[in-house]
Structure 1
Amino acid sequence: MRQEELKQFIADIEPLNLEVAKQMETYLDGLTKPVGSLGKLEQLMIQLAGVQGTMDIKTKPCATVIMCSDNGVCDQGVSSCPQEVTATVTYNFTRGITGVNKLSQFAGSDIHIVDIGVKADFKHPLIHNRKIAYGTQDMSIQSAMTYEQAMEAIEVGIEETNKLIENGYEIFGTGEMGIGNTTTSAAITAALLKLDVEEVTGKGSGAKDQVFNSKINAIKKAFQVNQPDPNDPIDVLAKVGGYDLAGLVGVYLAAAHGKKVVVIDGFIAAAAALVAYKLCPTVKDYMVASHLSKEVGMQKLLMEIGLEPHLNLEMRLGEGSGCPILFNLIEMAKYTLLGMGTFEDAGVDKSNYMHIWK
């Protein structure tokens, strides 16, 4: 995808339909409950109505797109897990035994596995081979990828999401697998928010102090070597990001372009969401933050985008694990709010209660 094509794709993303969103809000205010008393459940329905441009909201089927890739910065000892775990877990997604598998099975949602840069080859029909390279370069020595590779990875995310939209999927989640990607996510967050590395870098999958210090040092070296430009989100993505993150940027953009809600998982998915938001602020209209990850930079990311997490479960698994939980919450909101009776149904004069139920 050329830059001009991406700019046009972004320019075609429309804001949500405020007229239909207001219609939904008015309808919800007429239900037999205090106005706004179901809080974020009501907000979800209002957002969905505005996104889909209809009161006849569709919440099924749902799919979490899982971008899988390795990161060259692992050579700097930034993770307690060996890099081979990326390939192992990517394959295990096909076996139905991972956290996101079980949560998705419970929620009745699907996963869509994309190999966008794993340092291994797979021959499995459930793993979509869109490999750009066998992992990124070590960002502490050189740019993690070229600008062109970052653009290609965004295009992969767009294309894979568009395929799912064509197949009738209504709501999307964002997942990832890639040892070392809390390091790349912290780097992107620090660069785009112009914050000190220490403010946004956590211990990821349980890193000990020595590994954690290596993580901090690797990001600082990457900034010195590459000088990422905070005014160019793709430059930041290319220099200190990863293929998995770039692919997720494409998922966010394509979901918004196709007028579909897209759920953010944790810190890594939120870092990709920040890049998408910096490229196109309108994308925020289509985003839903699932939970508040325990990673230290998560809250700063969501505050910058202007989103609040719906849950705080002290989760830090990744994989897209927060998304099926939110799919369930969305389904519950729809079942409840579009199934409740109105004041008219209940034979109650709403005006008699407004002084109490404000």
Structure 2
Amino acid sequence: MHPIVDHIQPVDRDAGEATRRYLDTLTKPPGSLGSLEDLAVQLSTISGELKPNVAPPAVIVFAADHGVAAEGVSAFPQAVTAQMVANFASGGAAINVFARQIGAQVEIMDVGVASPLTLPGVTLTKLRQGTANMVVEDAMQLDQAIAAIDVGVAAVDRAKRAGAKCLIVGEMGIANTTASSAMLAVLTGQAVASVVGAGTGINPQQQAHKVAVIERAIAARNADPQAPLEVLSKLGGLEIAAMTGAYLAAAAQRLPAIVDGFIATVAALTACRLCPAVRGYLIFGHRSQEPGHDVALKALEAKPLLDMGMRLGEGSGAALAFPLLQAATAMVAEMATFTDAGVSDKASP
């Protein structure tokens, strides 16, 4: 178990109930703003405040490579990971565009890119040059997985010190849907074929090959489904471990974390398996087109805010969902009560 787990408290249900009661005094029929009201209540349970604030948000993107890319499981070569990190650093990726739109600070972290990187705007915390090929050997050693979790924890600490009130965690890593699918299949007991999708855009033949590669890796690694750190180290990725650490740290710091798509949700599931109390701090931004995402969401009993047919990663879907959190907090902070507005809160007989 990771020591940060000792610092995670359950969310404040009493604060949520107080917000729920307050929402019913606002100038609207009770419950008429639907899921936005549930979101406001959850944000209150996270912060312990009646009128929480979620701005400014922080975006943290973790990048790492995967040895299993050697098995030909992705439509893109491994070099694309480093090329996209350079794109993030220069502000040209989708996540940069959406982060600017919501006024988010952005940190790009190299936690295990295979190529040497020295780029302004990239935090170098490289633990190794990508994971090993999980078909042949464990993706990483247990101490490396824990070190990657620590990278995520430290990134959240920096964001909090810089004033962040909400976290958006993203990733980049060619073949990381393969690692995530392997982890999810083991953690949930689902058949590999039911959790594997097209990833970056592979064809049906390549998808069948990807399923076979993952099945071989799962059989060879023999990870214990009841030991999430073992599953993470044997089958996961350095960026997935860092994301897991970020979700643990968000809970420890009582910050809402908007979970992105498939890979992010597998990291979130890992964090929740390590510490179930983390679940209350997670808000699920969108439903990915990856079939495994539905499996992961079901395992977490999660209902995403958006469903836009996206499957990019990077934290992009989570960033698009952030304005809904802003709307929920503004509703509580700015709407008039029936008493304030001089409006009757009684229905006509």
TM-score class, shorter-chain normalisation, is over 0.9
| Correspondence 1:10 to 2:20 | no
Q: Between 258-267 and 318-327, report the one with greater CA deviation.
A: 318-327
Give 2:178's match in structure 1, choosing from 183, 207, 212.
Answer: 183
Which residue of the other structure, out of 268, 284, 294, is the alignment partner of 1:299? 294
Secondary structure in structure 2 of the residue aligned to 1:314 = strand
Mapped contact 1:62–1:171 kept (Cα < 8 A): yes
Whole-angstrom CA distance in 1 between matches of 2:162 and 2:101:
22
The answer for the alignment partner of 1:57 in structure 2 is 52
In structure 2, what residue type is equivalent to 1:190? A
Deviates more, 1:201-210 or 1:80-89: 201-210
Indicate which of 309, 312, 315 corresponds to 1:314: 309
Q: Does 1:193 align with 2:188?
A: yes
Is 2:51–2:332's contact at 8 Å kept on the other side of the alignment? no
**How far apart, in 2, do the equivalents of 1:315 and 1:82 lie?**
21
Tell me which amino acid in the other structure corresponds to 1:123.
T
Cα-Cα RMSD: 1.2
Identify unmatched segments of 5+ residues in structure 1: none
Mapping 1:37-56, distance limit 5 Å = 37-56=32-51
Query: Is residue 179–residue 235 contact of structure 2 (8 Å, CA) maintained in 1?
Result: yes
Matching residue of 1:77: 72
Instruction: Give the structure-1-normalised TM-score.
Output: 0.95
Q: 2:26 aligns to what SS in structure 1? A: coil
Higher mean C-alpha deviation, range 29-38 or range 72-81? 29-38
Q: Which deviations, in whole Å up to 9, do the C-alpha atoms of 1:120-173 show, x marking residues without a partner? A: 222233211110100000001111011111111111111111111122111001
Q: Which amino acid aligns with 1:267?
A: F
* Amino acid paired to 1:11: D
Residue 246 of structure 1 corresponds to 241
Tell me the residue number matched to 1:228.
223
Give the TM-score taking structure 2 as reference length.
Answer: 0.97
Alignment of 1:1-358 (within 5 A): 3=1, 6=2, 8-352=3-347
Comparing 72-81 with 34-43, greater Cα deviation is found at 34-43
User: Is the contact made by 1:141 and 1:221 (CA closer than 8 Å) also made in structure 2?
Assistant: no
In structure 2, distance between residues paired with 1:164 and 1:110? 8
Question: Alignment partner of 1:275: what SS?
Answer: helix
Preserved CA contact (<8 Å) 2:53 2:329: no
Which of structure 1's runs of 4+ aligned residues deviate more than 3 A?
Answer: none
Q: Is the 8 A contact 1:69 1:135 kept in 2?
A: yes
Equivalenced residue count is: 349
Q: Percent identity?
A: 37
* Aligned 8 A contact 1:64 1:323 in 2: no
* Separation of aligned partners in 1, 2:322 and 2:62: 19
Q: Distance in 2 between matches of 1:227 and 1:122?
A: 34
In 2, Cα distance between the equivalents of 1:352 and 1:36? 15
Cα-to-partner distance string for 1:9-51 (whole Å, 9 max, x where unaligned): 2122111111211111111111111111111111111111111
CA distance in structure 2 between the aligned counterparts of 1:21 and 1:209, rounded to whole angstroms: 46
CA contact (8 A) 2:262 2:293 kept: yes
Structure 2 residues not aligned, in runs of 5+? none
Partner secondary structure for residue 68 of structure 1:
strand
Q: Deviation at 1:241?
A: 0.6
Q: 2:51·2:333 contact (CA, 8 Å) conserved in 1?
A: no
Cα distance in 2 for partners of 1:78, 1:338 equals 49
Q: Please give the secondary structure, in 1, of the residue aligned with 2:307.
A: coil
- What whole-Å deviation, never above 9, does each CA across 1:329-352 have from its counterpart, x for those lacking one? 111222234221111122123233
Which secondary structure state, in structure 1, belongs to the residue aligned with residue 134 of structure 2?
A: coil
Instruction: Determine the C-alpha separation between the residues in 2 that align with 1:178 and 1:73.
Output: 11
Report the Cα distance in structure 2 between the residues aligned to 1:156 and 1:347, rounded to whole angstroms.
53
